[in-house]
Structure 1
Amino acid sequence: MRHNKKFNHLGRKSAHRKALLSNMANSLIFHKRISTTTAKAKALQMYVEPLITKAKNDTTHSRRTVFSYLKSKTATAELFRDVAEKVGDRPGGYTRILKTGNRLGDDAEMCIIELVDFNENMLEAKESKSKARRSRRGGAKKAESAPVAEAPAADEAKSEDSKAE
């Protein structure tokens, strides 16, 4: 029985699975975005988010702990230097999974997993979006715009009357 065994084994033995997740975590840290299957992305998300949380506390112990998972000095250095600096105030949720459809060869569900604070396109879109609130009824906008529209019309009528005299 599988009682309380929650992580996906990905059809691999434990050593192969650890190597796969370590390599994918290194690629994600270096490139900030990778394309993979949805199952691997979900497993990677569970693997890499605690490492990013550890990287927010820059101590020798946390560096050694993260290095034991990543097995790469350059990836560990980049995680503590660049990534931890950007996600310092974020309380969690450092990665985003965007589904991209199915793969042609075997119809596997594909996706892109990326670090949230490194997607410049989405950050620019969020900043440029106005903060106006929208409601389904739309009654408030019509009520506010109606008197404003009548006021210039009344002024124009008065100016036309004065020209006629």
Structure 2
Amino acid sequence: MRHQKKTVKLGRTAEHRKALLANQVCSLIEHQRIKTTLAKAKAVRPLAEKMVTLGKNGSLHARRTALAVLRQKDAVKKLFDDIAPRSAERKGGYTRIIKLGQRKSDSAPVAFLEWVDAAEVVVEEATPAEKGKKRKSAKTEAAPAAEKKSAGKAKKSEPNDEKKDAEE
């Protein structure tokens, strides 16, 4: 019987599952948002929140404990220096899961797992006006290039027409 057993096995051995969850948390720390299956997102969430709680503690022991779980120094550094201070006034619930629907290939439910406090940072970085300017400049550069190509083709076809006229 599975009564009182909380571990989600995810169809993997204990070592494989532990490595998978640690890698997912490191990716979440690095990229601020990850796209994964809903089951994996639900399994990663408690570990990610425990790591942020360790980061808020900030002691050497907490840092070593996080390093033992995550196994990546740069991820632990970013966790303690960037993510944990950003969540200092929050008592829990550092992550959110956004359901995205079904994956096309195997119909697995897919979701985003992201930091709650990271949404403010992402919105500030990408403003719509900057994106629009980049797109317009790419289109204007592409249009003259297309005109040059079509003009070159027209010139090549004209000499052939002259040769045909001369033969007749």
TM range (shorter): 0.7 to 0.9
Equivalence for 2:38? 38
Query: Residue 79 and residue 121 in structure 1: after superposition, are their counterparts in 2 closer, same or farther (change >3 A)?
Result: closer
Query: How far, CA to CA, are the matches of 1:55 and 1:121 in structure 2?
Result: 19
Give the CA RMSD over aligned residues.
1.5
* Partners of 2:123 and 2:7 in 1: CA distance: 31
User: Structure 2 CA distance, aligned partners of 1:24 and 1:123?
Assistant: 23
Q: Aligned equivalents of 2:31 and 2:121: distance in 1?
A: 15
Instruction: Supply the AA of the counterpart residue of 1:110.
Output: V
Query: 1:65 deviation in Å?
Result: 0.6
Deviation at 1:123, TM superposition (A): 7.4
The question of 1:119 aligning with 2:119 is answered: yes
Instruction: Answer with 46-55 or 114-123: which moved more.
Output: 114-123
Residue 21 (structure 1) aligns with: 21
Which runs of 4 or more aligned residues in structure 1 lie more than 6 Å from their structure 2 counterparts after TM superposition? 121-124
Change (3 A) 1:122 1:70: closer
One-letter identity of the residue aligned with 1:5: K
| Higher normalized helix content (fraction of residues) | 2
CA drift of 1:121 comes to 7.6
Q: Distance in 2 between matches of 1:58 and 1:50?
A: 13
Counterparts of 2:64 and 2:35, CA distance in 1: 28
2:79 maps to 1:89: no
* Alpha-carbon shift at residue 8 of structure 1 (Å): 0.7
Q: Secondary structure at 1:7's aligned position in 2? A: coil
Partner of 1:101: 101
SS of the counterpart of 2:98? strand
Paired amino acid for 1:51 = M
CA distance change for structure 1 residues 123 and 53 in 2, over 3 Å: closer, same or farther? farther
SS in 1 for 2:29: helix
Give the 5 Å matches for 1:53-64.
53-64=53-64
Deviation per residue, 1:30-85 (Å, 9 max, x gap):
00000000000000001111111111011110000111110000000000000011
TM-score, scaled relative to structure 2: 0.71
Count residues in correspondence.
124
Letter in 2 for 1:38: L
**Can you list the C-alpha shifts for 1:108-128, whole angstroms capped at 9, x where unaligned?**
00000000101128978xxxx
Letter in 2 for 1:7: T
Report how far residue 7 of structure 1 moved.
2.0
Matched residue of 1:120: which SS?
A: helix
Letter in 1 for 2:74: T
SS at match of 2:117: helix
Identity %, equivalent residues: 48
- Please give the secondary structure, in 1, of the residue aligned with 2:57: coil
